[in-house]
Amino acid sequence: MNTGEKTSIPNEVVAPQVEARAATNTILLCAGGACISSGEESCLTSLRATLEKYALQDVVKVVETGCMGMCDAGPLMILYPEGVFYQKLKPSDMELIVSEHLLKGRIVESKLFENPNTKVKITSAYDDHPFFTKQVKIATRNMGIIDPMSIEEYIAHDGYFSLQKVLQEMTPEQVIDTIKRSGLRGRGGAGFPTGLKWELARKVPGNEKYVLCNADEGDPGAFMDRSILEGDPHSVLEAMVIAGYAIGAQKGYIYIRAEYPLAIERLNEGIKQAKAYGLFGENIMGSGFSFDLEIRMGAGAFVCGEETALIESVEGKRGQPRVKPPFPAQKGVWNKPTLNNNVETYANIPTIILKGPEWFASIGTEKSKGTKVFCLAGKIKNTGLVEVPIGITLREIVYDIGGGIPNNKAFKAVQTGGPSGGCIPAQYLDMPIDYESLKTIGTMMGSGGMVFMDEDTCMVDVAKFFLEFSVDESCGKCTPCREGNRVMHEILERITSGEGEEGDIEKLETLGQSIIDSSLCGLGQSSPQPVLSTIRYFRDEYEAHIKEKRCPAKVCRPLIRYQIDESKCVGCTACAKVCPVSAISGEIKKPHTIDPEICTRCGSCIGVCRFGAISRVTPA
Amino acid sequence: MAKVKSLEELMKIKEKSLKDLQMRDTEKKGKIVVAMGTCGIAAGAKDTLQAIVSELAENKIDDLSVVQSGCMGLCEVEPTVEVHMEGQSPIIYGHVTPEQAKRIVQQHILGGKVVSDLMVRKGEI
């Protein structure tokens, strides 16, 4: 709506009667990590100030919610009762939203979403946007809807009703049976059946058992667990009490990285609130069952996401994996039987109890039930957080939910499972995504990070990136992982600098396989996967690097050269001005040239040329 | 804070919180839109709005959202009020004074009968 054309109403005139609506407006501001980093806090400050300016602070309720999922368009806001979705907010927009929408009831069109396909402005994104309509929300059911700092709002959305049912109507065996029948599998990546895990932990004799929550989310590009803990901490807390009841544990730990301060704050607040209502701590709901937990903060080592290393770290030791067996179910924290599940796995539990295992099992595929939360990152239009039924095709995720690849580029591959997983190339776009099918093509479900790559991505470079991560994060306890990954990385380094030799690919394959076979823990057993899967699907790119000293995607710096097309160059000198090493020379208004000896391949010139005269060439 | 010990107590908290949340729920039974353009305000829409809100409160109707809008374009019949009940086509009333607003609440919203003498238009604009 073009507000300039409307007769403007002095706001002082309109403000008084808004009081008559007595808090008829609620504003939800997304306070997920992504929105905070894109400026949610200053928007909130500005919004509060603007509301005060118009004396609306008592009638308009402002709520900070968890991640709404569409991180790309943050900071986000939903304005109720109409449910209007505003995106890409700046502090300066608050004046417009308050004075136009709240006071005059006019939707601020400039801040609405636009459907990328139809170019129609969307007011209520939850109903109309393909990003939301294809999703099925179970683990993230309350995220972006409730105030994570309010237990009452969680209860209003059926929170703690499963706990009541479990404690007052079910035996531990019935709880375990329910989880087993639901078909829920571990959402941390490996996909071990959750019910079975609970049963194993229950059957081990002992009075002292522990419930662990693995919130050590380390994959590059993955932020599901953080978003769930920030957006709906009670769902995990409730599930952990249920788990404690089921296996016979009175104590638990949440192992979370110290770099998730907001999640930690909200968890602590959640525990405090639940204790006040008698839903946590001593004698929960008068049932005689008690459960309490401690939050343990990790320093951010990737290996601590491996369950035995995590247990070591919880005990205050250096995070290094233990030899299995004994498994944590037998000897975990303090050598006592321990149940360890991932954040997202827990977040599913209350809904399964409440709606029944049959309902949950009706979603998904034959062997993989329910939904999975994925984080879309990289070369995709709608980066963000989505929860989809397992069995959805990659194509639906990329083109319907993700909105496709930016700048009309072609989809090349997606990395799932982070540095432990592999890539899925375009030929598998129509394959349903579940634990089994991903395994057959050499990758894994992983914790849910999806890093998208387009035609401009060099797969050798990507493999090198993920391997470098594993090299950095290897704890050093076992030799294959500590030394093997390093050697693989050296070979890749050679290949991408044009010094690859015949036989390098085979060497990578043999070495990778022996690291997988001989490493102690999951980190080493999976770290060569990105290299092996890129070799499997993009062997030609490796060969081009080695044999022709050519990088087909024109990414690897030693293998490319920048050049100026004389017929297009007008001699504007823009490139010469921006070149940090003065590699570009030429007279004004005459075609320029780049000296490849001086050029560092930084690419600054290509960005400033307005005539498309500069291009990358390979081989150099 | 009282400790929760039974399903009933939990239910009580839920109901109470839900009430607070209801205004956020877009799936209400309907909405009443009061046009609050300059023309509407000049014609007295402010009092009309106030009358609607208090009449709804008096009759304990909380499943309708009262929304303000800009000018509907029918400036000559302001104040205008649009009543949009779920599953029915919206009715636009014109010249709605506070007294007429009470009639609309009583007759249309509670009684389900359109106040035909005030009706300006039926259906989407």
For residue range B101-120, list pLDDT tens digits in order. Answer: 999 999 898 888 888 888 87
Confidence class of residue B125 from pLDDT cuts 50, 70 and 90? very low
All domains of chain A in start order, with CATH: 3-132 (3.40.30.10), 151-360 (3.40.50.11540), 371-454 (3.10.20.600), 459-547 (1.20.1440.230), 560-617 (3.30.70.20)
pLDDT at A588 over 80: yes
| Residue A7 contacts B, CB cutoff 8 Å | yes
- Residue B112 to chain A, least CA–CA distance (Å): 23
Sign of CA dihedral A392, A397, A398, A399: positive
Q: Delimit the domains of chain B by residue range.
A: 26-122
**3-state secondary structure at position B36:** coil
The sheet carrying A384-389 orders its strands as A384-389, A371-378, A449-454, A411-416, A423-425
Residues 6+ apart with CB under 8 A from A18: A54, A56, A59, A102, A103, B68
Stretch among A383-397, A594-608, B1-15 having the lowest mean pLDDT = B1-15
Q: Give the Cα separation of A522 and B46 in Å (integer).
A: 67
What are the structure tokens assigned to A263, written together? Answer: 């999640």
- Evaluate if residue B32 carries a pLDDT over 60: yes
B67 reaches A (C-beta below 8 A) = yes
- A115 has pLDDT over 90: no
Check whether A476 has a pLDDT greater than 60: yes
pLDDT surpasses 90 at A415: yes
Residue count (chain A): 620
Cβ distance A276 to B1 less than 8 Å, yes or no, reads yes
Q: What is the mean pLDDT of chain A?
A: 90
What integer pLDDT is reported at residue A3 of this predicted model?
A: 36
Say what the pLDDT of residue A116 is: 65
**Residues of chain A numbered 76-135 and touching chain B (CB < 8 Å):** 80-83, 103-106, 124
Q: What average pLDDT does the segment A563-571 reach?
A: 94
Q: Which of A218-227, A489-498, A540-549 has the lowest mean pLDDT?
A: A218-227
- Neighboring chain B residues of A16 at a CB cutoff of 8 Å: 46
State both tokens at B67.
């929304």
Give the chain B residue whose CA is nearest to the CA of A152.
Answer: B17
- The beta-carbon neighbor of B4 closest among A26, A158, A279 is A279
DSSP string, B41-110: HHHTHHHHHHHHHHHHHHTT--SEEEEEE---S-GGG-S-EEEEETTS--EEE-S--HHHHHHIIIIIII
Question: What element of type H or E holds A425?
Answer: strand A423-425
Tell how far CA A119 is from the center of its chain.
Answer: 27
Tell me the chain A residues in contact with residue B71 when contact means C-beta distances shorter than 8 Å: 6
Confidence of residue A330 (pLDDT cuts 50, 70, 90): very high
Backbone angles phi, psi at A572, to 5 degrees: -80, -15
- Token digits of residue B2: 């009282």
A155 → closest Cβ in B10, B53, B67: B10
pLDDT in tens, A307-317: 999 999 999 99
Residue A121 to residues A113, A114, A128, B36, Cα–Cα distance (Å): 6, 4, 10, 23
pLDDT at position A20, please? 36
Residues in chain A with CB shorter than 8 Å from the CB of B75 are: none
- The pLDDT assigned to A532 comes to 96
- Are A237 and A271 contacting, i.e. CB atoms less than 8 angstroms apart? yes
- Interface touch B20/A152, C-beta < 8 Å: yes
Q: What is the pLDDT of residues A187-246, one digit of tens each?
A: 988 899 999 999 999 999 999 999 999 999 988 888 889 889 988 999 999 999 999 999
A81/chain B closest Cα distance in angstroms: 5
pTM assigned to the model: 0.79
Strands A77-80 and A60-65: unpaired
Give the rounded percent of residues in chain A with a pLDDT score beyond 90. Answer: 72
For residues B124 and A570, the model is more confident at A570
What confidence score (pLDDT) does residue B23 get? 53
Give me the residues paired with residue A416 across strands: A450
- pLDDT at res. A613: 94
B26-122 topology per CATH = Glutaredoxin (3.40.30)
Lowest-pLDDT range of A259-263, A408-412, B76-80: B76-80
Determine contact: B31 vs chain A, CB below 8 A. Answer: yes
Least confident of A234-243, A355-364, B92-101: B92-101
Mean pLDDT across A320-330: 93
B23 in contact with A at a CB cutoff of 8 Å?
yes
Higher pLDDT, A385 or A184: A184
Mean pLDDT for A280-307 is 94
Peptide bond into B79 cis (omega under 30): yes
Find the CB nearest A24 among B20, B23, B50: B23
The helices-and-strands tally (H runs, E runs) of chain A is 27, 19
Contact assignment for B26 to A83 by CB distance below 8 Å: yes
* CB distance A418 to A222 below 8 Å: yes
- Average pLDDT rounded to a whole number, residues A436-440: 91
Mutation target among A99, A150, A152, A275 for the B interface, most CBs of B within 10 A = A152
Closest chain B CA to residue A272? B1
| pLDDT given for residue A286 in this prediction | 92
> Looking at residues A176-184, what average pLDDT do you find?
97
Are A468 and A453 contacting, i.e. CB atoms less than 8 angstroms apart?
no
Q: Judge contact between A373 and A228, C-beta under 8 A.
A: yes
User: Minimal Cα distance from A81: which residue of B?
Assistant: B24
pLDDT range class, residue A442, cuts 50, 70, 90: confident
Q: Using CB atoms, which residue from B5, B13, B28 is nearest to A155?
A: B13
Give the number of A-B residue pairs with CB atoms closer than 8 Å: 110
Q: Is the pLDDT of residue A177 over 80?
A: yes
Q: Supply B101's token pair.
A: 């607003």
Say yes or no: B21 contacts chain A, CB-CB below 8 A.
yes
How far is it, in rounded angstroms, from Cα A46 to Cα B42?
31
Nearest to A433 by CA among A411, A452, A448, A418: A448
Specify the pLDDT at position A124. Answer: 64
